[in-house]
Chains A and B, each alone.
Chain A
Amino acid sequence: MAAKPKLHYFRGRGRMESVRWLLAAAGVEFEEEFLETREQYEKLQKDGRLLFGQVPLVEIDGMELTQTRAILSYLAAKYNLYGKDLKERVRIDMYTDGTLDLMMMVAVGAFKPPAEKEETIASAVKSAKTRYFPVFEKILKDHGEDFLVGNKFSWADIQLLEAILLVEELDASVLSDFPLLKAFKTRISNIPTIKKFLQPGSQRKPPPDSHYVAVVREILQF
């Protein structure tokens, strides 16, 4: 039996959370090794396991993969969540790249000084409401299907749900003008693997708090 994928990261969302979502949605069990000290991080580097000296790192299928998008693309393809052909795949790429951009806006906010942080959050919420969510609402409206691409559950749906929940944490009313996204959110949340992931006790991580920020700053020394 194949070994479970193993994730190396801080005990928090950051850039690894999308990977956790994808694995969980695909019903794939995974292990996690949490970086808690500078020494652990330096050891990974010295052992040559981080191609560019950075995490996330995922051990999977005999590879030590780094670079979030490389990891996500591999998993999406491996677990048949990447569309049926090249044209579907490019649409999934467009959508996930957009949502990943949005989520990164939020993620970096946690590391900014208080005044800038508020500004970043506001900007992310605005981007969600004016740039990203209208696009996905329209996509769902135009084809009237349950999933974003090819009438089939894909990485794009997982990532959009993740983004929706992330932004809702910042502004609970963000979906008020997007009825189809509201329905989408309910529908995708009820997929058994995702439902399980959304329950307490899963490997989903909470929003970053000051402790998390402190740990990351200490380990990465910035």
Chain B
Amino acid sequence: MELWSLLWGGGGCSLLGPPSSAGRSVPAFKQLAQPRSWPAGAEQRRSQDFLGNQETAIMAGKPTLHYFDGRGRMEAIRWLLAAAGVEFEEKYIATPEDLDKLRNDGRLMFGQVPMVEIDGMELVQTRAILNYIASKHNLYGKDLKERALIDMYIEGMADLNEMIIIFPIHPPGEKEAKLALIKEKTTNRYFPAFEKVLKSHGQDYLVGNRLSRADIHLVELIYNAEELLPGVTASFPLLKALKTRISNLPNVKKFLQPGSQRKPPMNPKSLEQAKKIFRLP
């Protein structure tokens, strides 16, 4: 498993196929032939070898996501930003050299991605990034106790999501067993827990009768689980209803449509690509 945590710790995976649909406005990663020089004090403009879209992003105050063109650990961040109605840019890591450069430039605190440029900071560690975004956009409960509940729920979701994220990387011989494990955990541990929470208060949202990151992360998780295990939500009516409700929120609805920045699942080709980027056998 260490190999895979290296893979995920050091980066996500790269989906280097053609863009999933025309009209996706994600800028391609490019480098200028010569670095520009910036005026002193332009702290935020360190990415001086990126093209104009990066400058625009910074000047417009849009967060910029640094990751592979794929889901991995960045997808939860994309979901949250999208649900919060926050426009963001993406800079894709396409080669091992791209990742090296970020590291050598000292932009990755622990040498790992995801990394998100936001509000003058270069944030790493998925949880730290999500916590920041959620707090900033009032999706983290109204007080400490609501936050504790949200944290408890989302940590459970993260545990299951982790299994799902890593699933494609297992060698073929292990996949069946891993899938059975994911199914077992989903249907016996996690989905029942969240169904019970919704049942206990009968409200439209998991915490505090108000939309929070917990709802966003859960709906993302439901979609992910359904991709792997079709029909898995069948015996969880309240989860189904939550999924429908959240999917119909305008920002989420938009994100779920083709042409958004939502990424497709990994496929064998993109897995090969990812291994190349990580220089893995």
Contacts and interface: CB of A to CB of B under 8 A. Distances in A.
A53 B189 contact: yes
B110 A135 contact: yes
Interface in B212-231: none
A93 B125 contact: yes
Contacts of B145: 61, 63
A108 to B, nearest CB: 9
A77 interface: yes
A94 B152 contact: no
Interface stretch (A82-90, A145-153, A161-169, A195-203): A82-90
A90 B131 contact: yes
A40 interface: no
A98 B148 contact: no
Interface residues of A, number: 29
B61 to A, nearest CB: 15
Given A90-B131, A93-B132, A77 B110 contact: no
A51 B151 CA distance: 12
Contact of B155 (A69, A87, A93, A120): A69
Contact of B123 (A61, A70, A94): A94
B128 A90 contact: yes
B2 A94 contact: no
B135 A89 contact: yes
A78 B124 CA distance: 25
Nearest to A116: B2
Best-buried of B123, B144, B148, B159 by chain A (most CB within 10 Å): B148
Contact of A74 (B127, B136, B151): B151
Nearest to A69: B155
B181 interface: no
A93 B128 contact: yes
B111 interface: yes
Interface in B1-27: 2, 9
Interface residues of B, number: 31
Given A87-B121, A94-B124, A123 B2 contact: yes
Given A51-B156, A135-B109, A70 B127 contact: no
A18 interface: no
B193 interface: yes
A78 B9 CA distance: 30
Contacts of A51: 152-153, 156, 193
Contacts of A86: 132, 135-136
Nearest to A93: B128
A203 B2 CA distance: 32
A51 B197 CA distance: 9
B128 A52 contact: no
B253 interface: no
Given A52-B193, A67-B156, A69-B151, A94 B144 contact: no
Best-buried of B2, B9, B110, B124 by chain A (most CB within 10 Å): B110
Contacts of A135: 109-110
A178 B145 CA distance: 39
Given A52-B193, A90-B128, A123-B2, A67 B151 contact: yes
B100 to A, nearest CB: 15
Nearest to A123: B2
22 contacts: A51-B156, A52-B189, A53-B189, A63-B145, A63-B148, A70-B155, A74-B144, A74-B148, A74-B151, A86-B136, A87-B121, A93-B131, A93-B132, A94-B109, A94-B124, A94-B125, A94-B128, A97-B127, A120-B2, A131-B111, A132-B110, A135-B109
Interface of A: 51-53, 61, 63, 65-70, 73-74, 77-78, 86-87, 89-90, 93-94, 97-98, 101, 120, 123, 131-132, 135
Given A89-B132, A101-B9, 11 more contacts: A61-B145, A67-B152, A67-B155, A69-B155, A73-B151, A86-B136, A90-B129, A90-B131, A90-B132, A98-B110, A131-B110
Interface of B: 2, 9, 109-111, 119, 121, 123-125, 127-129, 131-132, 135-136, 144-145, 147-149, 151-153, 155-156, 159, 189-190, 193
